Chain A
Amino acid sequence: MLHQLVSGLMTGAIYGIVALSLVMIFNATNHINFAQGEMAMFSTYVAWMLINAGLPYWAAFGATVALSFVGGMALERMVLRPFRDAPLLSIVVVFVALLLAFNALAGWIWGYVLKKFPSPVSQFSTGTSLIGAHELFVVAVTVLMLTVLFLFFRFTRLGLSMRAAAQNPVSARLVGIRVGRMLTLGWGLAAAIGAIAGMLVAPIVFLDPDMMGGILLYAFASALLGGIDSPAGAVLGGLIVGVGENLLGAYVVGNDIKLTVALIVVISVLIVRPRGILGRITVRRV
């Protein structure tokens, strides 16, 4: 039981960090990016290539985060910018197209064979069978990212500008915020966070073009459960979904329909409490 709980928390941390990147893009653009998982997977392949080319882990890690940041910004400028004034459904279609494109592109470049991805802490041991060094590392990074993001959005002028630009672009321009730049920056940051998430996930699930498929669904459930605009909610939601999934999988429903449970969570949250646990309710008075 304890084992299941701990391993649930570990998976939960992974869902949480992927959910964080979803929240990031939502806070910057008011959209949910379905291609987030595939972008993360793509970044992870880049890291894998760099490591195979002989770069030390942390150099590859840093380079991948930087490349993803630039790539995310380029993606916004070149692919999403033309759809700036398009209806929501068109944008959703763009996201789905990106998802399929990244998946196919990764398969085409790197093939569909599972690849081993290294962990920077594999040489360490925690001295217990309960929790591995990499799992602990994942939790630490997730908590660190959450803290950084929270501080960024809550206490920096850039974070406030980004939230304002996403929420009310017209008013944001009227206080002098360069809205276009904020959107671009938001995509860059989300892609960078996604890259970190991908590199944390890969040592656990192995690297392949479909590695983020299931995880993204859980992350989506986590983000919704915690509140799609709340970084803390995303991680909390991730932990709840992770533990819930593990306990249910082990004791109640079995592994086969775990994913279905995640979907049920998504739908239930949307029905019962659309803003999630920590999400803000939007009140408008006229």
Chain B
Amino acid sequence: MSLLTVRGLKAFYGASEALHGIDFSLSRGGVTALLGANGAGKTTTLRALCAMIRTEGTIEFDGRTIGGMATETIVRRGVALVPEGRGTFTDLTVEENLRLGAITRGKSAEVEADLDRLLGIFPRLRERLRQQAGTLSGGEQQMLAISRALMLRPRLMLLDEPSFGLAPLVVRDIFEILRRINADEGVTMLIVEQNARLALDLADHAYLLETGRIVLEGPSADIRADEGIQRSYLGY
């Protein structure tokens, strides 16, 4: 059974239509990759799921329609977006950023335990707890964004280009951590990446977007083996 089902999803920037009615679904506990070139509509899809832009069509999360709900309501249902540009609260401290991730969960021992656990996964953040988040490096801010999303205890995590602008070694670390979080905690993930190879390694299923339409879908292994994909996106 799928956690998220999308049918005929259209998205608009002002009057212009950026997604022309796409269908896809995310399997519970799986990692799905959304691939495509610049401007294909990957980020737009994530924004549409979080109601950050105007949409048409149906979005069902855990069997209930979330289309038409406000962003904050969707988030409170357990959908966490790690946005493009990381969305850091630059003037707040690292710790405040992390606590904001769990702000809807109230004050509890569980939140404290989660904070401690995440700081165990990202020791760099522990060293910088009292530091202003805007002073962190790009990689550290990406870790912060992922941790902030995890502080929500999300059921679905949407990741927008987690590799963007980062050194290869940092990217490897971050993807390894994502893999672990998915395996250990069963968080369903939808990951948008320009680096298709990286995304396909992590994902079990993938969709390929081209100018606002889904043109191909299948298990990651099949997609990786597809010659057309290899030529256009994997650079073999």
Contact = CB atoms under 8 A, between A and B. Distances in A.
Interface of A: 157, 160-161, 163-164, 167-168, 170-179, 229, 280, 282-286
Contacts of B76: 176
A179 B99 contact: no
Nearest to B85: A286
A285 B138 contact: yes
A286 B89 contact: no
A13 to B, nearest CB: 28
A286 B152 contact: no
B135 A176 contact: no
Contact of B75 (A176, A282, A285): A176
10 contacts: A157-B99, A160-B100, A167-B89, A170-B52, A174-B81, A176-B75, A176-B103, A177-B103, A280-B132, A283-B132
B135 A283 contact: yes
Contacts of A176: 72, 75-76, 103-104, 152
Contacts of A282: 90-91, 134
A32 to B, nearest CB: 16
Nearest 8 A/B pairs, CB to CB: A171-B87, A176-B104, A176-B75, A173-B71, A283-B134, A176-B76, A175-B100, A176-B72
Given A164-B89, A173-B72, A177-B103, 14 more contacts: A157-B103, A160-B92, A164-B96, A167-B89, A172-B100, A173-B70, A173-B71, A174-B71, A176-B76, A176-B103, A178-B72, A229-B91, A282-B90, A284-B134
B72 A177 contact: yes
A163 B152 CA distance: 19
B174 to A, nearest CB: 18
Nearest to B105: A176
Interface residues of B, number: 33
Given A176-B152, A285-B137, A160 B88 contact: no
A83 B87 CA distance: 24
Contacts of B87: 168, 170-171, 174
A284 to B, nearest CB: 5
A174 B83 contact: yes
A167 B92 contact: yes
B199 to A, nearest CB: 22
Contacts of B198: none
B119 interface: no
A285 B103 contact: no
Contact of A171 (B88, B132, B135): B88
B140 to A, nearest CB: 9
Nearest to B101: A175
B103 A175 contact: yes
A168 B89 contact: yes
